[in-house]
Amino acid sequence: MPRERSGGILRRDLARAGSFPAKLRSGAAVCASPLSGKWQTATSTLVPLTVVFWSLQMTYVVTDNCIRCKYMDCVEVCPVDCFYEGENMLVIHPDECIDCGVCEPECPAEAIKPDTEPGLDQWLQLNAEYSEKWPNISTKGDAPADAKDMDGVPDKFAKFFSPEPGEGD
């Protein structure tokens, strides 16, 4: 289910408008002075002239069970095309995901999770790292022939993770 949230859409829209740093991380408070026209970054305890407060940057992440399942149903529904393809799994770019939640129920392997779930630090890091290295994918391809057999196999990361890129679109 999509979670209530406005920050991602706000950040994305402002970034697209060229008026907001695109890669602000969580916990930062950002203020703009209409007098100087310059962006300033401050701690959340400061009171700026005009304040856009960014409380949390949230994202969905792809986790262990995607590895060697890679059904790719998810890429078809993502409104911002923020999936990236490795050799045997996909990842989500955390700075591009708008946290809409549409992909989560589409994944047959139930491998997509909101990063608000506990214990996903490893996967958040992996999604962030490899979404910068792997090619973008927005069109569904063929799942591996043994995808069903691999669904639910434990500890896939240790056994099967490949850092090699996929083909992308």
Positions touching ligand SF4 (CB under 6 A) are 60, 62, 66, 69-74, 77-78, 80, 82, 90, 92, 97-103, 107, 109, 111-112
Alpha helices, DSSP H only, in 24-116?
73-77
Nearer to ligand SF4, 73 or 87 (CB): 73
Task: List the beta strands (DSSP E) in 13-160.
Answer: 29-32, 39-42, 50-53, 60-62, 83-85, 90-92, 112-114
Least CB distance from residue 130 to ligand SF4, whole Å?
13
Give the nearest distance from C-beta 141 to ligand SF4 in angstroms.
9
Instruction: Taking the CA atoms of 141, 146, 149 and 152 in sequence, report the sign of the dihedral they define.
Output: negative
Q: For residues 21 and 101, which CB has a smaller minimum distance to ligand SF4 in the complex?
A: 101
Residue nearer to ligand SF4 on the CB measure, 14 or 51: 14
Nearer to ligand SF4, 3 or 39 (CB): 3
Report in angstroms the alpha-carbon separations of 85 from 55, 61, 110, 153.
Answer: 30, 13, 17, 21
* Residue 169: CB minimum distance to ligand SF4, A: 14
